[in-house]
């Protein structure tokens, strides 16, 4: 009887020790929280940055989900709805197949948004130089972008999107009327000549020199930014890329299906500017920026991100779709509370 009791006590001690060891070694959802969606299968109760990204994708795909970073009942229900709608096993577990479907659907939505309102006759028909052809409403191409740039420089702010849409048409007519030209919205030789005269003059007498003062970028009256003289070339390239879309419209999902879009959302905008300097090969959603690059503030570029928004500062000015009026480049700062802070390595 005593042997049996001793054996029972030994077994009990082993069980208690094993349970304690299992508790120490057990993978907690927080400790093992992946930084990138798809690095682990996600279940109800998990939390972390990848859960935030999941919730962002669900929202983009039409299943509004609070971006809270915790895989709760609402997220579970929306995952199941998504899985069922896309002929996946509706078990609420986010594995590789569900992640691929989420990303594919988001890309399709972004592509559809980017193509809305785009006229037939693609950019391949566009001339390389403004003046090579007569421009009319509905056309698109590089020369249309140049036209929009000249209109903006001449005092008629026009999004530089490469599509001759209603706003461009209206601004052309306003410019023509103000300069004694036939106000028909058709950009022929006379209008091109007048635009070049006004635009080049505006460019030569602009408020900022070729390079801004050492250490800090400036913002021109047209919404474009000027890099500081001592900035590394890569920082100047980020600013130059940001200038190309500084006044383009906000478009949810814009910039994710294609680098060339009629508008850009917050993460599409930041991705575009970084891509223009060779720092990013493909666009990231807001939540992914929290685990991109190096942690903390950078000397030249700092990125602030959470599951619902991302913006960055470059050489002391802010690049942000929030508050953009009329440009994403802004001189005022904003609170960083609730944002992960990172920067491109080395910058």
CATH number, domain containing residue 54? 1.10.101
Q: Is 173 exposed, middle or buried, given 0-12, 13-18 or 19+ CB atoms closer than 10 A?
A: middle
Query: Do 237 and 161 lie in a common domain?
Result: no
Strands (E), 200-283: 218-219, 225-226
With contact defined as beta carbons under 8 Å apart, do 163 and 249 qualify? no
Query: Do 184 and 239 lie in a common domain?
Result: no
With contact defined as beta carbons under 8 Å apart, do 304 and 311 qualify? yes
Q: Which of 98, 115, 132 is the last residue of a domain?
A: 115
Determine, yes or no, domain membership for 150: yes
Determine, yes or no, domain membership for 151: yes
Query: Do 101 and 77 lie in a common domain?
Result: yes
Q: Which DSSP state fits 87?
A: T
Determine, yes or no, domain membership for 90: yes
d(CA 164, CA 135): 8
Query: Do 100 and 59 lie in a common domain?
Result: yes
Determine, yes or no, domain membership for 30: no
With contact defined as beta carbons under 8 Å apart, do 192 and 200 qualify? no
Query: Do 129 and 197 lie in a common domain?
Result: yes
Look up the pTM and report it.
Answer: 0.45
Query: Do 316 and 339 lie in a common domain?
Result: yes
3-state secondary structure of 98: helix
Query: Do 127 and 192 lie in a common domain?
Result: yes
Q: Which of 136, 171, 204 is the last residue of a domain?
A: 204
Who's near 156: CB < 8 A, 6+ residues apart?
171, 174, 175
d(CA 227, CA 276): 15
Who's near 126: CB < 8 A, 6+ residues apart?
139, 140, 141, 142, 143, 144, 162
Query: Do 187 and 143 lie in a common domain?
Result: yes
3-state secondary structure of 235: helix
| CATH number of the domain bearing residue 298 | 3.90.1720.10
Query: Do 54 and 105 lie in a common domain?
Result: yes
The Cα-based distances of 308 to 59, 251, 322, 347 in angstroms read: 10, 15, 12, 25
Predicted confidence pLDDT, tens digits, the chain (347 residues): 445 556 656 665 655 554 444 444 444 443 445 557 888 999 999 988 788 788 878 877 778 777 677 898 889 999 999 999 999 999 999 999 999 998 888 777 666 544 544 443 343 344 556 777 899 998 887 778 778 777 876 777 777 667 888 888 998 998 898 888 899 999 998 898 888 766 444 433 333 333 444 568 899 888 899 988 888 888 998 999 999 999 999 888 888 888 888 889 999 999 999 998 888 888 999 888 988 888 889 889 999 998 888 999 999 999 999 888 889 999 888 888 888 999 998 88
Query: Do 128 and 238 lie in a common domain?
Result: no
Dihedrals phi, psi of 189, to nearest 5 degrees: -60, -45
Closest CA to 79 of 109, 59, 50, 108: 59
Determine, yes or no, domain membership for 11: no
Determine, yes or no, domain membership for 20: no
Q: Which of 77, 92, 115 is the last residue of a domain?
A: 115
Q: What angle do CA 29, 33, 38 make, to 5 degrees?
A: 115
d(CA 157, CA 167): 9
| CATH number of the domain bearing residue 159 | 1.10.101.10
Buried b (16+ CB within 10 A) or exposed e, 42-51: bebebbbbbb
Number of domains in the chain: 3
Query: Do 163 and 269 lie in a common domain?
Result: no
Determine, yes or no, domain membership for 33: no
d(CA 310, CA 304): 6
Domain that holds residue 54: 49-115
Query: Do 223 and 302 lie in a common domain?
Result: yes
d(CA 63, CA 149): 38
Closest CA to 304 of 332, 272, 262, 266: 266
Determine, yes or no, domain membership for 337: yes
- Bridge partners of 303, per DSSP, are 312, 342
With contact defined as beta carbons under 8 Å apart, do 59 and 67 qualify? yes
């Amino acid at each position: 009887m005593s042997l049996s009791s001793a054996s029972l006590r030994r077994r009990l001690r082993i069980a208690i020790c094993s349970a304690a060891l299992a508790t120490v070694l057990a993978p907690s959802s927080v400790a093992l929280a992946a930084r990138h969606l798809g690095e682990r299968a996600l279940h109800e109760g998990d939390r972390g940055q990848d859960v935030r990204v999941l919730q962002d994708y669900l929202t983009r795909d039409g299943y509004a989900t609070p971006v809270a970073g915790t895989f709760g009942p609402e997220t579970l229900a929306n995952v199941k709805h998504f899985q069922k709608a896309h002929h996946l096993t509706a078990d609420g577990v986010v594995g590789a197949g569900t992640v691929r479907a989420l990303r594919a659907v988001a890309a399709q939505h972004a592509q559809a948004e980017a193509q809305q309102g785009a006229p037939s006759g693609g950019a391949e028909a566009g001339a390389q130089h403004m003046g090579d052809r007569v421009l009319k409403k509905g056309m698109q191409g590089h020369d249309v972008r140049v036209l929009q740039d000249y209109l903006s420089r001449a005092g008629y702010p026009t999004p530089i999107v490469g599509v001759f849409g209603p706003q461009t048409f209206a601004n052309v007519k306003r410019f023509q009327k103000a300069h004694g030209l036939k106000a028909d919205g058709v950009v022929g030789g006379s209008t091109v000549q007048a635009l070049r005269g006004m635009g080049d003059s505006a460019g030569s007498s602009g408020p900022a020199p070729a390079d801004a003062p050492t250490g800090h970028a400036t913002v021109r009256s047209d919404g474009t930014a000027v890099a500081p003289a001592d900035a590394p070339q890569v920082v100047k390239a980020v600013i130059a890329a940001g200038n190309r879309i500084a006044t383009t419209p906000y478009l949810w999902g814009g910039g994710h299906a294609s680098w060339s879009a009629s508008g850009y959302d917050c993460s599409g905008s930041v991705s575009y500017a970084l891509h223009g300097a060779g720092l990013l090969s493909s666009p990231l959603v807001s939540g992914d920026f929290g685990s991109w690059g190096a942690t903390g503030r950078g000397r030249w570029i700092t990125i602030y991100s959470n599951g619902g928004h991302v913006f960055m500062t470059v050489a002391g000015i802010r690049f942000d779709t929030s508050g953009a009026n009329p440009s994403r480049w802004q001189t005022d700062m904003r609170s960083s509370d609730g944002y992960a802070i990172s920067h491109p390595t080395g910058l």
